[in-house]
Amino acid sequence: MIVAILGSIGLALAFAAQMARWLRVLQREHYDPHAMIRFLGRWSSPPVGPASAPSRVRDRRPVTLSHILVVVFLVALILHSDALVVAVTIVYGLFAPTGLGLRGRTGALRFTRRLSTIAALVVAVGVVVATLGAFAPRPWLLGAAVVWAVPMLISAATRSLGPYERRRARAFVESAQRRLAAVGPRVVGITGSYGKTSTKSHLADLLAGTGVVASPASYNNQAGLSRAINENLADGTRVFVAEMGTYGPGEIRELCAWCPPEIAIVTAIGPVHLERMGSLDVIETAKFEITERASTVVVNVDDTRLAGWVGRLRATGKTVVRASARAGDADVVVTSGPRWRVIIRGEEVGELEARAGLQASNVACALAAALELGLARGEVIERLNGLSSVAHRAQVGLAPSGVTVIDDTFNANPASAEASLALLFGLDVPGRRVVVTPGLIELGNLQPGANISLAQKVLARGGELVVVGRTNALELMRGAENHARRVDRREQAVTWVRESLGAGDAVLYLNDLPDHYP
C-alpha cells in the first residue's frame, strides 16, 4: 500500500513537472499547438548528425539523460517490469528533457486565463485516463503514459479550445474596430519576413509630432494588434502604424478585414518561419494579402520577389511606390554606404552620414510611406538625421572595458546576419572580432546550410566564433571546422567576453534564443 501511494505521488509530481515545462514552451510559442511536436523533436534530437553528412563531419551530439531514460523505459515495457516503468517515468517527468528547466531563465511561466484553461483541460484528461488505468490488467501503465504524453495532451487541448478562444478574441477585435472607426486615423500596415519592426519604428520617428501611434514591440497578431488599438489609440491620432505578422496564409487577410490599411509596406520575402510555412512561395502568398485592401503599396524592390509585384499591383489600379537602397529608377532611394544619398523620384534631396544599426532599405520604405502621408521634401534630411536605432537590432555601443558591442539579439535571419557581419568587420577597431550566436532558426530544410555558411563567413573574415546552446551547434561547429568555442548559455558567453576581450576588440551578439530552445 505504501509503495502504491508513493508511486502515485511520484507520478503526480512528474506530471506536474512536465506540465510546467511544456506549458511554458506553448506560451513562448504563442499558443501554437504544433510547437509541441517541433520542440519535442528538438529536445529529443538523435545522438548523431544527419545521415546525409559525410562521415568525417558526422559529429556526435551529446547523449542526454532523456535518451537513456527512453531506452530504459522501452526495455521495462518489454520485460513487463511495471515497477521499473513507474520509476523511470518519475525520473523522466522530474528531470527531463535535460536542460528544459521548470522555471525559465528568459521567460517565466505566466498563468494567464488562456493558459489556465488549457492546463485545467489537460489535468482533467490526465486524471480521467489515470483513473481508468486503475481498472486495467496493468494499472500503472496508463498513469505512466499520461506523464510521457504531456506535450501531446497540451497540443490536443490547445487545438480543441481554438474555436472557443477565437470567439473570445472576437470581442476584443470588435472593440478595436469601434475604436478605429471613432478615431479615424489613416492606417499603415507593415509586413515582411524581416525589417518590419525597424521600418515601423523609422516611420514613427519620421512622423513624430504629427499625431502618429505605432503598435508597440512585436504586437503583430490579432491579439496584439487589437490590444494595441484598444489601449493606445488616443483621440486625435492622425496615423496608426500596424505591424502585421503571419505564420501562414489567411492571417494577414483576417487582420486587414478589421484593420484595413490605406498604405501597405512590404519589406522583404525570405525564409523566416519557413519551418512553419513550408516554402518561399507560401510565404510570399501570405505576405501579399496585406495589399488586397490597400490603395497604395510600398515595396522594397531590392527584393527580387517584391520587384515582381509592381506590375501585378499596378494592373489592379493600385498606386505602387518602389523603395530601394541602390541608386536606380526606384521612386525613393536611400543608398547604402558610408554616406546615404536620398533620391526622391529622380531628384537628389540631400545626403547624410550612415547610421550604424540602420538598414538603408528599411529607411527607404519608411521614407516612402512618410512622403505619401504628407512629409514635406524639405524636412526629409532633418527627419532622417533624427532616426534612432531599434533596441537589440544591430545597436552599437562601447562597454566600459573599451570593447565595441553590437547588440543584434533580436535578429535571426540570413539577411540581417549578413548585414551584422558586415557591420562587425567594417568597424575601425584594431583588435579581435568575435561573434556570439546560437545560430539561425525556423529556416526549415535551409537551416543546416545557413548555419554552416554563417560559421564559414565568420572565420573567413578572420573572426572568432562562440557557439551558444546545442540547437545549431553541430552545424556551426562543422562550418567552423571545430575552431570555435562552445558554451551552454549566453550568460557563459558574456562572462567569457568580459574576461577575454579588451579595448580595441569588438563582439557581435547575433540572435539570442529563449531557453525553451535546447
List, in order, residues 6 or more apart from 512 with CB less than 8 Å away: 106, 392, 409, 410, 438, 490
Considering the domain architecture, whether residues 348 and 428 belong to the same structural domain is answered as no
Domain assignment of residue 518, yes or no: no
Of residues 360, 364, 463, the one with CA closest to residue 419: 360
Considering the domain architecture, whether residues 103 and 200 belong to the same structural domain is answered as no
Residue 392 φ/ψ region, left for φ over 0, alpha for ψ in the -120 to 50 degree band, beta for the rest: left
What is the end-to-end Cα distance of the chain in Å, rounded? Answer: 40
Angle between helices 222-232 and 251-258 (to 10 degrees): 20
Residue 230's CB is within 10 A of a number of other CB atoms, namely: 15
Cell output for 262:
490605406
- Judged by DSSP in three states, 14 sits in helix
Q: Hey, what amino acid is at 183?
A: V
Of residues 22, 273, 28, 275, the one with CA closest to residue 155: 22
CATH of the domain at 213: 3.40.1190.10
Q: Which residues pair with 190 in a beta bridge?
A: 243, 265
Domain assignment of residue 181, yes or no: yes
Considering the domain architecture, whether residues 144 and 237 belong to the same structural domain is answered as no
The helix (run of H) or strand (run of E) holding residue 351 is strand 347-353
Considering the domain architecture, whether residues 333 and 353 belong to the same structural domain is answered as yes
The total number of structural domains that make up the chain: 3
Considering the domain architecture, whether residues 217 and 315 belong to the same structural domain is answered as yes
- Chain-centroid distance of CA 79 in Å reads 44
Of residues 421, 414, 424, 352, the one with CA closest to residue 387: 352
Domain assignment of residue 132, yes or no: yes
Residue 4's CB is within 10 A of a number of other CB atoms, namely: 11
Q: Containing domain of residue 69, as a range?
A: 2-160
What does residue 500 show for φ and ψ, rounded to 5 degrees?
Answer: -110, -25
Considering the domain architecture, whether residues 50 and 91 belong to the same structural domain is answered as yes
pLDDT tens digits in sequence order for the chain, 518 residues long: 687 788 889 999 999 999 999 999 999 998 999 999 989 988 886 543 433 333 333 444 556 777 788 888 888 888 888 889 999 999 999 999 988 888 877 778 899 999 999 999 999 999 999 888 878 888 888 999 999 999 999 999 999 999 999 999 899 999 999 999 999 999 999 999 999 999 999 999 999 999 999 998 778 899 899 999 999 999 999 999 999 998 889 999 999 999 999 999 999 999 887 777 889 999 999 999 999 999 999 999 999 999 999 999 999 999 999 999 987 889 999 998 889 999 999 999 999 988 777 889 999 999 999 999 999 999 999 999 989 888 778 889 999 999 999 999 887 788 889 989 999 999 999 999 999 999 999 888 889 999 999 999 999 999 999 999 989 999 999 999 989 999 998 999 999 999 999 999 999 999 999 888 98
Cell output for 151:
506535450
Considering the domain architecture, whether residues 78 and 101 belong to the same structural domain is answered as yes
Domain assignment of residue 515, yes or no: no
Domain assignment of residue 425, yes or no: yes
Domain-terminating residue out of 132, 160, 188: 160
Considering the domain architecture, whether residues 324 and 357 belong to the same structural domain is answered as yes
Domain assignment of residue 516, yes or no: no
List, in order, residues 6 or more apart from 495 with CB less than 8 Å away: none
CATH of the domain at 417: 3.90.190.20
Q: How many angstroms separate the CA atoms of 315 and 312, rounded?
A: 5
- Judged by DSSP in three states, 388 sits in coil
Domain assignment of residue 390, yes or no: no
Domain-terminating residue out of 108, 134, 160: 160
**Quick one: 333 exposed, middle or buried, by C-beta within 10 A (0-12, 13-18, 19+)?**
buried
Strand intervals (E) in 385-505? 395-398, 404-408, 433-437, 464-468, 485-487
- This prediction has a pTM of 0.85
Considering the domain architecture, whether residues 99 and 242 belong to the same structural domain is answered as no
Per-residue model confidence (pLDDT) at position 63: 65
Q: DSSP per residue over 191-236, as a string?
A: E-SSSHHHHHHHHHHHTTTSSEEE--TT--SHHHHHHHHHHH--TT
Considering the domain architecture, whether residues 282 and 325 belong to the same structural domain is answered as yes
Domain assignment of residue 517, yes or no: no
| H helices, E strands: number in the chain | 21, 15
Q: How many angstroms separate the CA atoms of 199 and 237, rounded?
A: 19
Domain-terminating residue out of 111, 142, 160: 160
Angle between helices 222-232 and 162-183 (to 10 degrees): 40
Per-residue model confidence (pLDDT) at position 52: 36
Contact 266, 287 (CB under 8 A): yes
Q: How many angstroms separate the CA atoms of 183 and 185, rounded?
A: 6
Residue pointed to by grid coordinates 551529446? 62
Considering the domain architecture, whether residues 187 and 153 belong to the same structural domain is answered as no
List, in order, residues 6 or more apart from 303 with CB less than 8 Å away: 267, 268, 269
Q: How many angstroms separate the CA atoms of 4 and 183, rounded?
A: 64
Considering the domain architecture, whether residues 252 and 219 belong to the same structural domain is answered as yes
Cell output for 370:
512618410
* Rounded alpha-carbon distances, angstroms, from residue 247 to 159, 195, 451: 16, 16, 22
In degrees, rounded to 5, the angle at the alpha carbon of residue 292 between the alpha carbons of residues 290 and 295 is 95
Per-residue model confidence (pLDDT) at position 206: 96
Residue pointed to by grid coordinates 547610421? 355
